[in-house]
Structures are given as structure tokens and as C-alpha cells.
């Protein structure tokens, strides 16, 4: 889509006035004067999330062991309750989604389930710019099966180190490929991959397809009824604002619900008979059957509050603001920052863009530090990317305007020169 923007604060304020989601901002905890652009790393805490956490804590306080069953929703089935709440974000059926563990463990679970190598088909197809944990899990699973990752992982290289080209993957789908695991949105550039095209082509060749939705869930709506992947995983602490370490999402296509789980445990048992404590595992025939052991209820509760806000706001409205505000950010960067040597490493077209903008500069690391000192919260990714995510539920157009002005000030005054070229632990 082509957008028409103007420079100046009054235009930003005008956009905020027209913003259909503007009332949500007041439900988040924001620090005065700080501009939080890191919602793609750790989303902010909302009052709704806090209220759910406090409710569940209260249930534990007053009910003790009975909190598992005498609560509404039942904490014993909480993971599936949250799964059903996440299902609309990807247009899946409630029974296809559960909340479980973290993304990495869900990849292990899914690979344990779906990776069934034969002499002829044994390769796992990946890209070389995905977040590393996916690859660590793949290599680990291969080793568990006595296979050599050097032989069994087929890596398709990005042409420019920023984006992946779908056609390169189709070409790499040779008869020895058993499974593909790719990110929906690339964590550095924010490229949104054509998931349907890749999934359809893979299925024509009998290849299992899994997607890592960490950088798209809650920012980009997915239509899994159309894409029809075999499995998907995602974290809930980024755009979904579930809190640090909140439980991850796992989607298993309903055509596979009767498959055995790769990492079974007693919480995946048919619920009515779980407490019969039989040694023979009776896997539940829905995504909850992929549960392992007892999950952290207190790391799920904030997500409940946050998902209620998502249902209220509507995923399509969130995407629509995300596209508009990232396009606005792009406009201001081009207007105000190109003269200081900045470039944009994210796709321009709406259908190729996720929820953040990759701002590139040779001195990105020091500029990132100067930005933090100027009370903007971005994050840095090697080698030269400052990621800026205007989370639609709590970031205003005015914040984007103000952030760009703070960057202008840093560059004009060469404030970044006062910082070391040193990476810090997080962001
Ligand atoms: C694409 C992707 N996958 C996985 C993860 C992290 O996984 P986990 O939830 O296991 O920490 C991230 C974290 O940023 C990510 O960007």
C-alpha cells in the first residue's frame, strides 16, 4: 500500500488522534519520558496481565492444592485454555494449540515427533540467518538419533545476509529432504516470508514443514487453515506481552493429532485418566497431548490477561496499525536520518514486512548505546542493526516522531562517540 505522511509533530499527533487502538496504551506500564521500542524482544507489562497473575496467585493462596481444579479456568487445563485463546491469532482450531515450555523445547518436541529419517530422506532444510536456538535444537536432535548435523542439515544461504529468497528453498527441496524449519519473520531484518508458497511446495514433495513464529505472533495474523503447516512454535514474551519467560506456543496440525509425542510426559496423558498414574502413556488426541511435565502456571497467567486484550483489539486492527506505524517510521527515517549514514534493512512492501524496522549504520552499536542514554529502548543485533519495534498496542506515532528526533540529536552532536563499541548482555 502507498501511504501519505507529513513531517512534524502535529501530524504525528493527528495520527494518534485517529488511532483506533489508542485507548490500549493506558493499560500498559510505561515509564515517563521513555520510548519503548523493544516490544519485539520483551513486550511491556499490562494491567490486564498483572490482574490475571494476581488472580492466579490468590487462587493458590486460598485454595492450595484445590487451585488446580476449583478455579475458572481450571489451572489443570490452563495450558489448553491459553492454547485456545492463541488459536485465533493463527486461524487454527483450539484443539491444535497449546501453551508449553519455551520455543526451543517445543522445537525439540516437534522434531522428536515429525523428524522420521529414512536412508533416502534424512535432511533438514534451514536458512543461515534464523535465530540460533532453532539450529541448536536441530543439531541436538540429530545427534540423539546418532546422525551427523554436517551431513543431515541442508543450509540455504541468504543472498544478502538479510533476507531469504523463497525460490532458493524450493530449489533446495530435493528428494533427500525430510523436514523444513524456517522463521516466519526474520529476527534481524523483519522480512515476512511467504509461508504458504513454501509450505505448499514442500507438501507437493512430501516434506514436513514447521514454522518458528517468534517474530510474527501478535504482530502478523496468520491463516493456518490456508497455509496448512505441520507444526509451528512461538514465544509469547515478545509482541504478546506475556512476561519474561512466559510459556511458549505449540501448534500441531489436526491431521497429526494422533501421532506420538516426541518428548512425552504425564501431562500429555488423557486428562480424565492422568491421575490413574498408569505407566502406559495414553496421549491426549489434541495439542495438549504434547505437554510434558507440570508447567509454570505463574508464567502463564499474565498471558491470559494479554490475550484477552488481543481478542478485544482484533488481530487485523493490530496488523493494520503495525503496517501503518512502521511505514511512518520508515518515512521519518528517510526524511531525517539518511543524511547521517543510516539505511533501512527491512522490506518496504507491506506483504513482506513484519512488525519492526531494522535501522542500519556502521556505528550502530555505539548509537544504540547513546539511544539508551537518551531514554529510547531499542536493541542491537550484529553486525550493524538497531531494531525498532513500534508495538501497536502501546506505541504512539508521537513516540516514533520523538525517537527519530532523539536520533537526530545524537548524530548532530556526535553523542555516540562517547560510548564504547562493546556488546552488553541483553539487547
Ligand atoms: C526466531 C526465534 N526463535 C526462538 C527464540 C527464543 O526461543 P526461547 O523461547 O526458547 O528462548 C527467539 C528469541 O528471540 C527467536 O527470535
Burial (Cβ within 10 Å: 0-12, 13-18, ≥19) of residue 255: exposed
* Residue 420 binned pLDDT confidence (cut-offs 50, 70, 90): confident
The tens digit of pLDDT for each residue in 254-284 reads 999 999 999 999 999 999 999 999 999 999 9
User: What is the mean pLDDT of the segment spanning 75-90?
Assistant: 98
- Does 427 reside within a domain? no
- Does 423 reside within a domain? no
pLDDT of residue 425: 64
- For a mutational test of ligand 1's pocket, the pick from 214, 249, 299, i.e. the residue with the most ligand atoms closer than 8 A to its C-beta, is 214
| Residue 248 contacts residue 110 (beta carbons within 8 Å) | no
List, chain by chain if needed, residues with CB within 6 Å of any ligand 1 atom.
102-104, 131, 133-134, 183, 187, 212, 214-215, 235, 248
Q: Are residues 262 and 337 in the same domain?
A: no
The CA 132 to ligand 1 mean position distance, Å, reads: 8
State yes or no: pLDDT of 413 exceeds 80.
Answer: yes
State yes or no: pLDDT of 302 exceeds 90.
Answer: yes
The greatest distance separating any two alpha carbons of the chain, rounded to the nearest whole angstrom, comes to 70
pLDDT of residue 241: 98
The tens digit of pLDDT for each residue in 209-243 reads 999 999 999 999 999 999 999 999 999 999 999 99
User: What is the mean pLDDT of the segment spanning 138-153?
Assistant: 98
**Averaged pLDDT of the chain:** 97
Q: Are residues 70 and 207 in the same domain?
A: yes
- Does 35 reside within a domain? no
The CA 133 to ligand 1 mean position distance, Å, reads: 7
Alpha-carbon span 102 to 244, nearest angstrom? 11
Give me the CATH number covering residue 318: 3.90.1150.10
The CA 279 to ligand 1 mean position distance, Å, reads: 33
Q: Which of 311, 340, 372 corresponds to the end of one domain? A: 311
- Does 37 reside within a domain? no
pLDDT of residue 10: 98
User: What is the mean pLDDT of the segment spanning 201-210?
Assistant: 98
- Does 191 reside within a domain? yes
State yes or no: pLDDT of 422 exceeds 80.
Answer: no
The tens digit of pLDDT for each residue in 308-340 reads 999 999 999 999 999 999 999 999 999 999 999
Q: Which of 311, 341, 363 corresponds to the end of one domain? A: 311
* Residue 423 binned pLDDT confidence (cut-offs 50, 70, 90): confident
| Residue 82 contacts residue 99 (beta carbons within 8 Å) | yes
Give me the CATH number covering residue 54: 3.40.640.10
pLDDT of residue 427: 61
User: What is the mean pLDDT of the segment spanning 40-69?
Assistant: 98
Sequence-distant (6+) residues with CB within 8 A of 48 are 27, 305, 306, 308, 309
Q: Are residues 303 and 374 in the same domain?
A: no
User: What is the mean pLDDT of the segment spanning 349-365?
Assistant: 97
Range of the domain at 352: 9-30+314-418
Q: Are residues 271 and 367 in the same domain?
A: no
- Does 359 reside within a domain? yes
pLDDT of residue 426: 61
Q: Which of 265, 280, 311 corresponds to the end of one domain? A: 311
pLDDT of residue 421: 82
Cell of residue 115, nine digits: 523428524
Considering only CA atoms, which of 199, 238, 224 is closest in space to residue 392? 238
* Residue 175 binned pLDDT confidence (cut-offs 50, 70, 90): very high
One-character DSSP codes across 73-133: S-GGGHHHHHHHHHGGGGT--GGGEEE-S-HHHHHHHHHHHH----SS--EEEEESSS-HH
The CA 248 to ligand 1 mean position distance, Å, reads: 9
Q: Are residues 156 and 290 in the same domain?
A: yes
User: What is the mean pLDDT of the segment spanning 57-77?
Assistant: 97
What is the total count of domains within the chain?
2
Q: Are residues 58 and 196 in the same domain?
A: yes
Amino acid at each position: 500500500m502507498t501511504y501519505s505522511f507529513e513531517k512534524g509533530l502535529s501530524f504525528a499527533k493527528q495520527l494518534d488522534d485517529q488511532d483506533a487502538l489508542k485507548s490500549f496504551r493506558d493499560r500498559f506500564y510505561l515509564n515517563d519520558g521513555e520510548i519503548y521500542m523493544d516490544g519485539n524482544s520483551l513486550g511491556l507489562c499490562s494491567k490486564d496481565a498483572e490482574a490475571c497473575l494476581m488472580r492466579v496467585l490468590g487462587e493458590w493462596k486460598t485454595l492450595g492444592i484445590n487451585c488446580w481444579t476449583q478455579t475458572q479456568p481450571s489451572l489443570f487445563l490452563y495450558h489448553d485454555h491459553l492454547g485456545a485463546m492463541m488459536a485465533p491469532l493463527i486461524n487454527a482450531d483450539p484443539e491444535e494449540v497449546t501453551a508449553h515450555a519455551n520455543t526451543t523445547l517445543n522445537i525439540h518436541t516437534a522434531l522428536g515427533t515429525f523428524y522420521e529419517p529414512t536412508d533416502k530422506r534424512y535432511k533438514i532444510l534451514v536458512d543461515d540467518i534464523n535465530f540460533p536456538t532453532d539450529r541448536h535444537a536441530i543439531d541436538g536432535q540429530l545427534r540423539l538419533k546418532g546422525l551427523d548435523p554436517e551431513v543431515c542439515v541442508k543450509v540455504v544461504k541468504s543472498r544478502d545476509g538479510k533476507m531469504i529468497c523463497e525460490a532458493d528453498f524450493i530449489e533446495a527441496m530435493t528428494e533427500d529432504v525430510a523436514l523444513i524449519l524456517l522463521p516466519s519473520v526474520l529476527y534481524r531484518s523483519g522480512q515476512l516470508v511467504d509461508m504458504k508458497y513454501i509450505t505448499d511446495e514442500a507438501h507437493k514433495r512430501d516434506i514436513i514443514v514447521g514454522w518458528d513464529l517468534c517474530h510474527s505472533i501478535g504482530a502478523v495474523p496468520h491463516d493456518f487453515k490456508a497455509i496448512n503447516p505441520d507444526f509451528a512454535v512461538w514465544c509469547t514474551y515478545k509482541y504478546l506481552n506475556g512476561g519474561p519467560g512466559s510459556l511458549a506456543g505449540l501448534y500441531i496440525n489436526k491431521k497429526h493429532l494422533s501421532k506420538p509425542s516426541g518428548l512425552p510426559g504425564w501431562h500429555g496423558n488423557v486428562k480424565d485418566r492422568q491421575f490413574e498414574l498408569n505407566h502406559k502413556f495414553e496421549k491426549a488426541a489434541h495439542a495438549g497431548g504434547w505437554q510434558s511435565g507440570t508447567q509454570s502456571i505463574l508464567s502463564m497467567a499474565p498471558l491470559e490477561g494479554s490475550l484477552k486484550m488481543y481478542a478485544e483489539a482484533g488481530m487485523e486492527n493490530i496488523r493494520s496499525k503495525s503496517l501503518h506505524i512502521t511505514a511512518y517510521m520508515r518515512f521519518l527515517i528517510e526524511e531525517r536520518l539518511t543524511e547521517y549514514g543510516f539505511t533501512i534493512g527491512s522490506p518496504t512492501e507491506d506483504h513482506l514486512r513484519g512488525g519492526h524496522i531494522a535501522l542500519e549504520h556502521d556505528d550502530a552499536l555505539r548509537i544504540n548505546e547513546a539511544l539508551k542514554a537518551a531514554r529510547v529502548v531499542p536493541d542491537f543485533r550484529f553486525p550493524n542493526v538497531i531494531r525498532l519495534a513500534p508495538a501497536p498496542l502501546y506505541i504512539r506515532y508521537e513516540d516514533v516522531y520523538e525517537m527519530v528526533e532523539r536520533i537526530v540529536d545524537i548524530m548532530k552532536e556526535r553523542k555516540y562517540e562517547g560510548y564504547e563499541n562493546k556488546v552488553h548482555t541483553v539487547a
